[in-house]
Amino acid sequence: MKKHRILLQPLGKSLIVNDQTPLIDVLHEYGIEFPCGGKGTCGKCKVKLLEGEIGLTAVHQQKLTALCLSDEWRLACHSRCTSDITLEVEQCNHIILADESSFDFVPQTGFGVAVDVGTTTLVAQLIDLSSGKVIAVETRINPQGKYGADLISRIQSCINGYASEMTYMIRQAIGSMIEQMLRLHKVEIKRISLVGNSAMQLIFSNADVTPLAAYPFDSANSGQKEFSVSELNWKFKVKEKIIFFPSIGSFVGSDILAGIVATNLHNKENYCALIDLGTNGEIVVGNQHRIVCASTAAGPAFEGTNISIGMRAVTGAISSVYFRDNLLKYNTIGNVKPKGICGSALIDAIACFRESDLIGVFGEINSGENQIALTTGLGLTQTDINEFQLAKAAIAAGFEILCKSLSIEVKDIQELYIAGGFGNYINIRHLIQTGMIDLPEERIHKMGNTALTGAKIFLFADNQISNEILSKTTHINLERDAEFQNIYVEKMLF
């Protein structure tokens, strides 16, 4: 059988497929979503044909016209591979790169690597420093995952004697991601900037995480750290330096520092907020004068942990839930039989349940049954709904307490930025309906991976920006607030 080569940009992935292979089969392997289920109505799976040919059927042409797409575009759900092709996958630009937002930089010669060391996901980008453009991207699941999904279990594993193994693992994984990018693009790296939460930074640095294990949850050793390739055991050259940026305080790390830089929150006149719905659930509130931040450990529920049918946003995950004609409908990534539900759809489902009075003000299932079915064999249990309540209340209460600490109210926030891996998929209206964020829809903006954008900005900047932000930012211990319990419990309600 005839074979063809597909090059996926900006992933930089090259693969060989059989003639007539549907692109939908190829792309869902990379976590690309097909929200309308491959009907060709939503346009979300559009790809730009950079090289080669994809023949257009009459139906395909019709769909493209309906979506107002020019002739360089194709819908992956309606395409088959019939020649060697190079595709730019639109969704990847949003999910992984998230560098739609332009940033100011002074062009320089050479190349840099920006790395977001996430608790769950690692992302690295190779950047041309003369143009600020992304040349290659690598993403990987953090291999430390086998030592627990959340930070406390990771820290526990370090204490239990796996610290050096975890340090070795993370250095090795990031090194091999960079090597992989260098294999495709033979360039010399000038510098590498890494960002991540405090635990990720300490583990990467082979430093003691024990101070993060108990109150006051603060390490004195979370400042900026510089490394050489030899001590990291990396096989490529770096001309200048490898820097892991400093943590802000407690669990709030340089990924949030980078998020502040990426959203420019530290230069805003009005009060703005940044919420990262990742594993560590960080919240930042502030303006050009003063910034406060906290972490809430609310994230695991959004990443699928603690939810009976929870899973990450990969093939087989229900990615959105909605009502149509009074019936509960859903979309599944990859248009396959659903296996579970990811964070964005969990928010959708809860909002729909509440709107239709399937659950009450306390989160109780009104039918008296122990679960609400989404489809045959898949449903959310009472415990799942309660887990969601704990997570959304942690975010909402944290947000309120941070505002209170600045003597403002939540409604004074003019712009709220949602960061984090699955942030882009969230239905903002549903998010508001769950009571997680009580702000008008138009003030809430999805920002993609702000940690990565910030890490990229750091490639061009000296330490001045990070020092400036650190000097005006205070970490707040939410549990220490006398009102925490009352606010937290109130926010559990719908």
Residues that bind another protein (CB under 8 A): 152-153, 155-156, 159, 213-215, 361-364, 370, 382-383, 386, 389-390, 477, 479-480, 485, 488-489, 492-493
Cβ nearer to another protein, comparing 68 with 214: 214
Beta carbon of residue 51, minimum distance to another protein (angstroms, whole number): 52
C-alpha atoms less than 13 angstroms from C-alpha of 121 in its C-beta half-sphere: 20
Tell me whether residue 253 or residue 259 sits nearer to another protein (CB atom): 253
Residue closer to another protein by CB (options 271, 353) is 353
Asked if 456 contacts 245 with a C-beta cutoff of 8 angstroms, the reply is no
Q: Which is nearer to another protein, 292 or 314 (CB)?
A: 292
Return the sign of the alpha-carbon dihedral for residues 139, 144, 146, 148. Answer: negative
Query: What's the rounded Cα separation, in Å, for the pair 34 and 334?
Result: 6
Beta carbon of residue 459, minimum distance to another protein (angstroms, whole number): 35
- Closest separation between CB of residue 152 and another protein, Å? 5
DSSP label of 46: E
Asked whether the beta carbons of 352 and 374 are under 8 A apart, the reply is no
Q: In angstroms, rounded to a whole number, what is the distance separating the alpha carbons of residues 88 and 334? A: 18
Q: Which of 209, 185, 190 is nearest to 198 (CA)?
A: 209
The DSSP bridge partners found for residue 6 are 15, 85
Q: What is the DSSP letter of 461?
A: -
Tell the smallest beta-carbon distance from residue 352 to another protein (Å).
Answer: 20
* Amino acid at position 223, single letter: G
Q: Give the pair of three-digit tokens for residue 259.
A: 């998020």
Q: Which distant-in-sequence residues (6+ apart) come within 8 Å of 93 by Cβ?
A: 10, 99, 100
Please list, in sequence order, all residues whose beta carbon lies within 8 angstroms of the beta carbon of residue 103, skipping any fewer than 6 positions away: 132, 262, 453, 456, 457
Minimum Å distance from CB 485 to another protein? 6
Q: How far is the CB of 328 from another protein (least distance, A)?
A: 23
Residue 395, C-beta contacts closer than 8 angstroms, at least 6 positions apart: 275, 277, 281, 283, 296, 298, 436, 437
Please identify, using beta-carbon distances, which residue of 141 and 159 lies nearer to another protein. 159
Nearer of residues 74 and 392 to another protein, judged by Cβ = 392
Q: Cβ of residue 359: shortest distance to another protein, in angstroms?
A: 11
DSSP state of 77: G
Question: Strands 73-75 and 378-381, how do they pair?
Answer: unpaired
Min dist. Cβ of residue 479 to another protein (A): 4
Nearest distance from residue 482's CB to another protein, in Å?
Answer: 11
- Residue closer to another protein by CB (options 16, 159) is 159
- Residue 86 token pair: 């190079």
> CA torsion sign, 301 to 305 to 308 to 309?
positive
β-pair type (189-196, 111-117): parallel
Decide whether 278 or 363 has the Cβ nearer to another protein.
Answer: 363
Q: For residues 16 and 493, which CB has a smaller minimum distance to another protein in the complex?
A: 493
